[in-house]
Structure 1
Amino acid sequence: MRLLLRLLSTLLGLAVAAAGVVLAIEMTASLARPGAPELIVPWRAWMAGLEPVSWSRQPVLWTAGGVVVLGLVLLLVSGSARRKDIRLSDPADEVVVTTSPRSLARIVGTRVRAAEGVTAATVTASRKKVRVRATGRSSGDPDLRPKVTELVRGVVADLPMPSRPKVRVAVVSPKDRR
């Protein structure tokens, strides 16, 4: 969603900048040579064509409604493109501490990969869930999943988080990894 917002803001910024450049060129040419034809945009012909159009005509109202709807859609897109930071417990009243889901996944992943019996691990984290997919050294270690689950719960419990995310652990054998 943030990529879409960045793309839209870049395109709208370029459109406004281009319109500003064209307006500056046209106004400078119009002031320098009064009565001369337009350079880029035939704005005098457009003004003459739009002069008899009333604000209460149907196409004008539909265009205005479309612009309002487009503006509301852009507001919704920008409002939903917030960062997904994970809030930690505040050390003081004036201090707000957050971390990113990627940082939380790195902390958990480092500890899981260092655990005995684990050869590789993939971790994804959010404010509500921590998902771990660990690969064990041997294919028949039934104690590895509970051990990794307790390790992940311990790592999450050590962090100063006001609410604990759910922990999901899946352990696969090296043969299942392919």
Structure 2
Amino acid sequence: MRLFVRLLSGLFGLALLGLGALTVGEVGWSWAWPQRAPLLVPWPSWLRYLDGRHWSDTETLVAAGVLAALGLVLLLASAAAKTRDIRLRDPGTAVSVSTSPRALARLVGRHVRAQDAVSGASVTASAKKVKVKARSRLESAGQLRPRLLDSVRELLAELPLARQPRVTVVVTAARERR
């Protein structure tokens, strides 16, 4: 969702930049050559059309409702795009500490890759769970999985996490892939 909000805000920024440049161009054009037709936007015809409209017209109310609904959707999308930080135990009453899921995943990944018989690992982490996918060329999955599970649980227990996440370890051994 955060990616959606970032892309949307970038697109809105570019649209506003284009609209501003177009407005500056149109104003400059109409000041320099007031008798000529508009540069790109047919604003005199729009002005004539809007001149006969009132705030209580159905078209105006529908347009206002659509814009209000669009604004509400954007507001809800930005509210849902909160950061997914992982809370740590607070060292004091006026201090709150958190870390990112990526930092926790890097820490666990480095720890898992340092273990014997692990040839590679990928880790995804959130506040609720840590998932480790490890590869081994030397040991079978049945031998390596319990050792890695205990090792990751011990590492997480040493960290000042406010809540201990659930740990899942999946091991793929080279002998079992063939």
TM-score normalized by structure 1? 0.86
What percent identity do the matched residue pairs reach?
A: 46
AA aligned opposite 1:110: R
Count, aligned residues: 178
The answer on whether the counterparts of 1:135 and 1:177 sit within 8 Å (CA) in structure 2 is no
Distance 1:152 1:42, change over 3 A: same
The answer on whether the counterparts of 2:140 and 2:175 sit within 8 Å (CA) in structure 1 is no
Give the drift of 1:52.
Answer: 1.4
Give the drift of 1:22.
Answer: 2.3
Q: Which residue of 1 is the match for residue 159 of structure 2?
A: 159
**Which digits, 9 at most, give the CA deviation of each residue in 1:94-147, with x for residues without a partner?**
333221111111111121222223232221111100111222344546442221
Distance in 2 (CA, whole Å) between partners of 1:140 and 1:91 is: 42
Distance in 2 (CA, whole Å) between partners of 1:25 and 1:173 is: 65
Unaligned runs of 5+ in 2: none
Unaligned runs of 5+ in 1: none
**Which digits, 9 at most, give the CA deviation of each residue in 1:130-176, with x for residues without a partner?**
11122234454644222111101000001111100001112222134
AA aligned opposite 1:171: V
Structure with more helix by fraction: 2
Q: Equivalent residue of 1:133, what SS?
A: strand
Q: Equivalent residue of 1:175, what SS?
A: helix
Q: How does 1:108-147 map to 2 (within 5 A)?
A: 108-140=108-140, 142-147=142-147
AA aligned opposite 2:83: R
Distance in 2 (CA, whole Å) between partners of 1:13 and 1:146 is: 51
Distance in 1 (CA, whole Å) between partners of 2:5 and 2:176 is: 39
Q: Which residue of 1 is the match for residue 61 of structure 2?
A: 61
Moved more, 158-167 or 168-177: 168-177
The answer on whether the counterparts of 2:84 and 2:100 sit within 8 Å (CA) in structure 1 is yes
Q: Which residue of 1 is the match for residue 150 of structure 2?
A: 150
Give the drift of 1:34.
Answer: 4.8
Q: Which residue of 2 is the match for residue 9 of structure 1?
A: 9
Q: Equivalent residue of 1:172, what SS?
A: strand
Distance 1:137 1:42, change over 3 A: closer
**Which digits, 9 at most, give the CA deviation of each residue in 1:37-89, with x for residues without a partner?**
43332222211122112222222222111111111111112112222221212
Q: Which residue of 2 is the match for residue 22 of structure 1?
A: 22
AA aligned opposite 2:58: Q
The answer on whether the counterparts of 2:26 and 2:39 sit within 8 Å (CA) in structure 1 is yes
Stretches of 4+ aligned residues off by more than 6 angstroms: none
Distance 1:136 1:56, change over 3 A: same
